[in-house]
Amino acid sequence: MSIAFWVTEDCNLCCDYCYEGKNKKTAYMSKETIDKSIEFLKDEFFDGMNLLIHGGEPFLAFDIMDYLVKTINAKFSNVNYMVTTNGTIMSERIFKFIVEDLKAITVSIDGDEVTHNMNRKYKNGKGSFSTVIKNAKLLNKYIDELRIRLTINHRTVNNMFSSVEYLIKEGFNFLSVSVDEYDQYWCDDSSYIYKDELIKISNNYKDREDVYIDILDLVYIKKEECRLGKHILPNGNIYPCAASVGRDEFLIGNIFSSLDIPRMEYLKKFSKIPLHSECRECSIRESCEYVRCKIINKCITGKFNCPSLIGCTINNINHQVLYM
């Protein structure tokens, strides 16, 4: 189960593929909400747990992040803080915080300057690459496994291999590659190109011990049922995961009142509903994220038991390329 604090819903970028949409809210979490949330969730904290700090762009709310970490550390031991950032915001205080207080940080970089700037732009339309690559290189000198996240869509899939190659040449050795499942323009041609690009990545890097690329290390084991996480928004609303945030049908409570137990039981029930007919004969169904996570199915397709077509296609391509 994941616990996440959404310290802000605000962002200084306007990425074309952002799953949170173009018209983001600008709310920031207050210290009161942090204090109340920690008290509300105190029985769910444990030694060695992972805690996500989310946004928007979380470093827009750096003072709140700092307060959150210090407050939790004063009450609980050995909590691992994990953050994903667009990499555009840096200062001496932020750098010190990242190096000393975070267990893991992921910076979003989609490849070289041209590829990255296709989708990851400031609100004025200017690309963010030059700032992000400078900050990421600085962090990479001090963090052993700085994680770089590449998001692929129909516009950048042609550059998937060259993007991976570029980032590795720049010294980044821990890469996470994911496809935008909400991409309305992804088509069969995109999938064919993805497969060709993945083959090139596999041929060049699968046996490299000094490089880790997550899509080359897929483990096909049976997924556990969804246990519903707790993602807390600045207003105190609680949702079970990042995909569900802001959708009223998935609201499971508020830290200033209580959990909605009937709603939680209702959502848990859907983790056990029968599979979509086409999924039942799939050889990798037991390890499929869309068999486990019915909420993301509902968000993308409108049906709990109907998986994302893009996600299903990519899963099968990954399996074909890496294991067949």
71 and 198 co-located in one domain: yes
Confidence of residue 220 (pLDDT cuts 50, 70, 90): low
The CB-side HSE value for 106 (13 A sphere, CA atoms) comes to: 17
DSSP single-letter state for residue 111: S
Total tally of structural domains belonging to the chain: 2
Residues 271, 240 contacting (CB under 8 angstroms): no
Do 167 and 242 lie in one domain? The reply is: no
Of 278 and 216, more confident = 216
Structural domain boundaries, residue 162 = 3-216
Give percent above pLDDT 70 in the chain: 98
Give me the pLDDT at residue 253, please.
Answer: 98
Q: Give CA–CA dist 142/272, Å, rounded.
A: 44
Query: Do 44 and 193 have their domain in common?
Result: yes
127 and 178 inside one domain: yes
Residues 16 and 79 occupy one common structural domain: yes
CATH number of the domain enclosing 182: 3.20.20.70
Position 221 in a domain? no
Count Cβ neighbours within 10 Å for each residue of 231-242 and write b for 16 or more, e otherwise. bbbbebbbbbbb
| In a shared domain, residues 60 and 186 | yes
Residue 312 located in a structural domain = yes
Query: 148-180, pLDDT tens digit by residue?
Result: 999 999 999 999 999 999 999 999 999 999 999
Q: Is the pLDDT of residue 21 over 80?
A: no
Mean pLDDT across the chain: 94
Structural element, H or E, at residue 319: helix 309-323
Q: Given 187, 216, 245, which residue is the final one in a domain?
A: 216
Residue 237 φ then ψ, to 5°: -65, 145
Q: Are 152 and 59 within one domain?
A: yes
| Residues 108 and 114 sit within 8 Å (Cβ to Cβ) | no
Q: Cα 244 to chain center, whole Å?
A: 13
Q: What is the pLDDT of residue 17?
A: 92
**Residues 139 and 284 occupy one common structural domain:** no
Would you say residue 224 lies in a domain?
Answer: no
Mapping DSSP to helix (H, G, I), strand (E, B) and coil, where does residue 271 land?
A: helix
pLDDT tens digits, 43-78: 999 889 999 999 999 999 999 999 999 999 999 999
Is-contact 213 149, C-beta < 8 A?
A: no
Give the pLDDT of residue 6.
Answer: 98
Claim to verify: residue 40 and residue 144 sit in the same structural domain: yes
Domain stop point among 162, 193, 216 = 216
Residues 249-281 have pLDDT tens digits of: 999 999 999 999 999 999 988 777 877 788 888
Q: How far apart are CA 289 and CA 222, in angstroms?
A: 10
The whole-number pLDDT of residue 290 equals 84
Residue 223 lies in a domain: no
Domain-embedded: residue 10: yes
Is residue 222 in some structural domain? no
Same domain, 42 and 105: yes
Residue whose pair of structure tokens reads 């762009």 in the numeric block: 57
Domain limit, last residue, from 216, 242, 259: 216
Q: How confident is the model at residue 221 (pLDDT cuts 50, 70, 90)?
A: low
H or E element: which one contains 190?
helix 188-205
The pLDDT tens digits for 288-316 are 888 888 899 999 999 998 999 999 999 99
CA angle 184–187–193, rounded 5-degree value: 125
pLDDT tens digits for range 194-205: 999 999 999 999
State the pairing for strand pair 80-85/253-254: unpaired
If asked whether residues 132 and 235 sit together in one domain, one would say: no
Same domain for 168 and 124: yes
